[in-house]
Chains A and B, each alone.
Chain A
């Protein structure tokens, strides 16, 4: 029972990160019908930018309070990621907006490689220790169940951001324009909406969430690396499909569910396979789920019919 509770908690932490990244996938898909496979790399750029900023600041003024350091690092990560995403859309995807679907998809994979390679040039091939500015000392709220402050921060921060995003999209004039544009670019422009701006904004917003996810992810594991975005990116994409791509609530639900399944699966995989597989095979679960969803419910948990947008 304790193991289950512990794994559920761990799942919630990693699921929150997946959810933040999945939102970026799903927003861009909703508005352009594009799977932006480079989105996972934005998380990596966020983590490594924060790493550089934080370590530099630590060198310059060693007395700076850790939370301020983290705040500045996070802010820098968000700004850099937003710029990267803006340029990505402007330079790579915009020209392909009316191209056959395969062209932007392959371009997205290309952008992903490009970002990874650039990051490798800038930050090298080595794993970097990411400063854990929020404590990772476990507490034991319930006998046998451990949770540390960075995990709590991850869950709480993700929840706040997600609520904020939902409010933005459902309650504001800007959100209304985003939803209108997602449904019909042409008619939205007839309402006076600058569709290009809304699309840029969607990319930039998704990138800001990915930056937060990247910093939280690196803070949890204490590691940053030029290829660190690949797996969470793929998982978040799975989460977006699981929840119903194009659907905000779906991305959040999909992220959390995926995190939980993965963590619980990892906790029991040894028992399940009689010791044949250990918990390092936990990635299996995400992709088994992806396969099952695509076969039995391609529209995802909360998906309507698959969007008819081109």
Chain B
């Protein structure tokens, strides 16, 4: 294990700028994540949240600034190598391989691993966590409902045994009951010690679960604080929690 000092962040964003199709979507943000934390990133549509997560996972390059993960600069590391370091992203829209079966999707999550016995164990763990997935293993994943696909996407990410899990809008378009189930899973994962960065439109829900939160606005971080602080912050309540100021 590398640096396990609790005061050193597992992930650090230093003045990160990201340009996307000619426009600067993220205009210099600083953000820190500490080991074992669940931190959420909230903000309006187009604030740059998804862009930030994609840059963390390595599918988008930086236009400036630096990413430090576990004491190492990873700004130019390609996505497939970042996964090997333990950074997994559950992308916006789930990114299920619709033509592969559910089981094949899950096994793709373990692509970087060669410890087949442990992979089978982890698969079983995912099945117990997500029993509805287990009933559909041989089904082509494109036939699953949105909620089931989201569960497969999360299960798949877990099979890489991530140390840092990036979740992009896991509640998007899902019924409240399903969302509840998904957040139960997120909580379980957090309890196992995985650091989580959660992007959510549903700010209320996210802040309830998160220890800390960052509010993003037009490519910048406007407010930061603990989950409770942000929930109590009148500006946040007005802008993101649907309350009149």
Instruction: Report A's interface with B, CB cutoff 8 A.
Output: 173, 176-177, 179-180, 183-184, 186-195
Contacts and interface: CB of A to CB of B under 8 A. Distances in A.
Contact of B99 (A177, A183, A193): A183
Contacts, number: 65
A302 to B, nearest CB: 14
30 contacts: A173-B107, A176-B100, A176-B104, A176-B108, A179-B97, A179-B100, A180-B100, A180-B108, A183-B97, A184-B95, A184-B97, A186-B59, A186-B79, A187-B91, A187-B95, A187-B97, A188-B108, A189-B58, A189-B59, A189-B78, A189-B80, A190-B88, A190-B89, A191-B80, A191-B156, A192-B112, A193-B108, A194-B78, A194-B80, A195-B80
Nearest to B166: A190
Contacts of A183: 97-100
A189 B79 CA distance: 6
Contact of A192 (B59, B84, B104): B84
Contacts of B108: 176-177, 180, 188, 191, 193
Interface of B: 57-59, 78-80, 83-84, 88-89, 91, 95, 97-100, 104, 107-109, 111-112, 156, 160
A150 B89 CA distance: 53
A192 B80 contact: yes
The 3 lowest CB-CB distance pairs between A and B, nearest first, are: A192-B112, A187-B95, A192-B83
B59 A191 contact: no
A177 B160 CA distance: 14
Contacts of A176: 100, 104, 107-108, 111
Contacts of B83: 190-192
Nearest to B159: A191
B76 to A, nearest CB: 15
Contacts of A179: 97, 99-100, 104
The A interface, classified by DSSP as helix, strand, loop or mixed, is helix
B197 to A, nearest CB: 15
B111 to A, nearest CB: 5
A215 B97 CA distance: 37
Contacts of B99: 179, 183
B22 to A, nearest CB: 14
A297 to B, nearest CB: 20
A190 B97 contact: no
B100 A191 contact: no
Given A179-B100, A180-B100, A192 B160 contact: yes
Contacts of B79: 186, 189-190
Q: In this complex, which of B58, B80, B83, B89 has the most chain A Cβ atoms within 10 angstroms of its Cβ? A: B80
Contacts of A177: 108, 111
A59 B120 CA distance: 56
A277 to B, nearest CB: 43
A184 B98 CA distance: 10
A204 to B, nearest CB: 19
Contacts of B160: 191-192
Contact of A191 (B58, B78, B98, B111): B111
Nearest to B103: A176
A193 B111 contact: yes
